[in-house]
Structure 1
Amino acid sequence: MTDIEPLDLRFSADELAEQRAHIESFIEERLDAAGVERAVLGLSGGVDSTTTAYLAVEALGKENVHGLVMPGEVSDADNMTDAERVAEELGIEYDVLEINPIVDEFLNAVPEAEGDRLAVGNARARTRAVLNYLVANHEGGLVLGTGNRTEAAIGYFTKYGDGAVDCHPIGNLYKQQVRQLAADLGAAQELVEKTPTAGLWAGQTDEEEIGMDYDTLDAVVALTIDGEVPPEATADIADTTVENVQHVRDLHAKSEHKRHVPPAPEQLF
């Protein structure tokens, strides 16, 4: 590898303005198509949910956006504080809903799952999804997703958890583009630059779990998944190893089922 700048996927000023307007129109159109006026979303204190909340307020008005802060046993207190801060800065309605009692009831029902980090972590994500939909159904609204293009490509989300939403407003953006848009929307710089974490278990960070930083991951996804550039050429352009490129390709292939509705047998008659 050489000492070069990572692949720059950020928008020009004109592209950024166009993308911002495009996403806001998308949010409005999805709600109009469903015949509803309100949107509900989970707020984690990270850049993805922060960006989505800002866009939703721009599109719908603060009175039509409801944020849910859903801390669990392993949630970082600073992240939860940041989530509330975002809601307060935007002036949206928000509630803090503790998920521990709900997850504990699941583990009381299936005690052998206690200590299974992945299973319990996914249960936390799915509990948040259920609460999002409980509130959205009660209020007659839609659930906005907060997932981005990079994480979707490698399946870095919980099926029927944070992947269980009505639409993905920032689902067409790579992580560095999300950060760029967050800054343009006026989000605090410390939130724009914060270390991402899914908050599924204590001490978890996205980049450590994935095995590379997001700028590299963005580049590999853009080149070899979206652009179908061969692994060796991708490694050279992204300034990474062929092994890292293959790792991303493997994650993409193994998570294909997450990006589609559950399959059924072909119709015979």
Structure 2
Amino acid sequence: MQTQAVIDYIVNWMKEYAERARVKGFVVGVSGGIDSAVVSVLAAKTGLDVLLLEMPIRQKADQVNRAQAHIADLQSRFTNVRGMSVDLTPTFEQFEQTVASSGSEEDVRRLALANSRSRLRMLTLYYYGQTNGLLVAGTGNKVEDFGVGFFTKYGDGGVDISPIADLLKSQVYTLAKELAVIQSIQEAVPTDGLWDSDRTDEQQMGASYPELEWAMSVADSHTPADFEGREREVLEIYLRLNRAMQHKIQPIPVCKIPPEWLA
């Protein structure tokens, strides 16, 4: 990969898009993970106004520390970067209490609440985006956004632009190194940070990002029957997740009424 050329291209694309949209810059939700770190550096390099939001909801200390260290690092490197911490824990816990008696199975309820955390962050990003004249910059990569759907519909999937959605996770790590993202983030185990317990991305999906990248590269030309052992298992995982995520990326179904009934 021509790393610097890719960086320059994304930065120019972001800047030109913002200028055409007549906005001041970008707001980015910073989690302490690699994707949001890379997007926030790319946004900073546009020279436009950048607001970095850390939005903890009962967050683990290491995630909070990485996010705050990253914000401090970017503020020391770029004069156009501002940082804020908005503690959403009280708001989320009030919501959690309000919907507690839903009658759902406990595992289903836990997943719904995990996704609610992401949707609450989306609301917060758009609030600060609108009040500051900023676009919400998405942080999803290609595997998550178009391969396995590892994002929340109308949560972290609710954005104005997606700067790194055409990059594989491994390529995001390559950019992170070139962009001098702090080492603690480069070395952190990927997690979505939506659970009270420690759940890594790999534990939730059943496969690592390198494995899923391989599966994504062969899915159009092979079936699980073409492989054995772990490769067959990984491709089966990928295809199952890919089928399940189609509702997240396909246009919203519209009920088309026969024209003669509307005359």
Aligned to 2:78: none
Shift of 1:267: 5.9
Q: Deviations over 1:53-88 (max 9, x none)?
A: 111011234xx1001101111x11111111111111
Q: Matched residue of 1:262: which SS?
A: coil
**Residue matched to 1:230:** 222
Q: By how many angstroms is 1:178 displaced?
A: 0.3
Question: Pick from 111, 114, 117: which aligns with 1:121?
Answer: 114
Does residue 166 (structure 1) correspond to residue 166 (structure 2)? The answer is: no
Match of 2:204 in 1: 209
Matched position secondary structure for 1:194: coil
Structure 1: which 4+ aligned runs deviate by more than 6 Å?
Answer: none
> CA separation in 2, counterparts of 1:135 and 1:234?
49
Does the CA contact (< 8 Å) of 1:23 and 1:169 recur in 2? Answer: yes
**2:13 matched to 1:23?**
no
Among 76, 100, 106, the alignment partner of 2:89 is 100
TM-score of the aligned structures, taking structure 2 as reference length: 0.89
- Partner of 1:65, secondary structure, is strand
Superposed, 1:110-259 pairs within 5 Å as 110-113=99-102, 116-152=109-145, 153-201=147-195, 202-224=197-219, 228-232=220-224, 235=227, 240-259=230-249
Measure the CA separation in 1 of the matches of 2:95 and 2:30: 23
1:89 corresponding residue in structure 2: 73
CA deviations on 1:167-219 (whole Å, 9 max, x unpaired) are 11110010000000000111123311310000111211101111111111111
Aligned partners of 1:234 and 1:245 also within 8 Å: no
RMSD of aligned residue pairs (Cα, Å): 1.9
Sequence identity percentage: 31
Q: Residue type of the partner of 1:32?
A: E
Tell me how far apart the structure 1 counterparts of residues 209 and 254 of structure 2 sit (CA, whole Å): 35
Aligned-partner Cα distance in 2 for 1:261–1:171:
18
- What is the distance in 2 between the residues matched to 1:252 and 1:220? 11
Shift of 1:43: 0.2
Q: SS in structure 1 opposite 2:83?
A: strand
Taking a change above 3 Å as real, the CA distance of residues 59 and 222 of structure 1, as seen in their structure-2 partners, is: farther
Pairwise CA distance, 1:111: 1.8
State the alpha-carbon separation in 1 of the partners of residues 50 and 257 from structure 2: 41
Spell out, residue by residue over 1:218-268, the C-alpha distance to the aligned partner (whole angstroms, 9 max, x if none): 1111231xxx120348747xx832122022111111111101342212364
**TM-score (ref. length: structure 1):** 0.87
**Alignment length (residue pairs):** 248
49 and 109 in structure 1: CA distance in 2 versus 1, 3 angstrom threshold: same
For residue 221 of structure 1, what is the amino acid of its counterpart? M
Q: Is the 8 A contact 2:151 2:157 kept in 1?
A: yes
Whether the 8 Å contact between 1:41 and 1:144 is mirrored in structure 2 is yes
CA distance in 1, matches of 2:6, 2:174: 11
With 190-199 and 132-141 compared, the bigger mean Cα shift is at 190-199
| Alignment pair present for 1:264 and 2:254 | yes
Is the Cα contact below 8 Å between 1:179 and 1:193 reproduced in 2? no
Is this contact kept in 2: 1:16–1:181, CA < 8 A? yes
Unaligned runs of 5+ in 2: 76-80
1:32 to 1:234, Cα distance in 2 relative to 1, 3 A: farther
Q: Give the match's secondary structure for 1:166.
A: coil
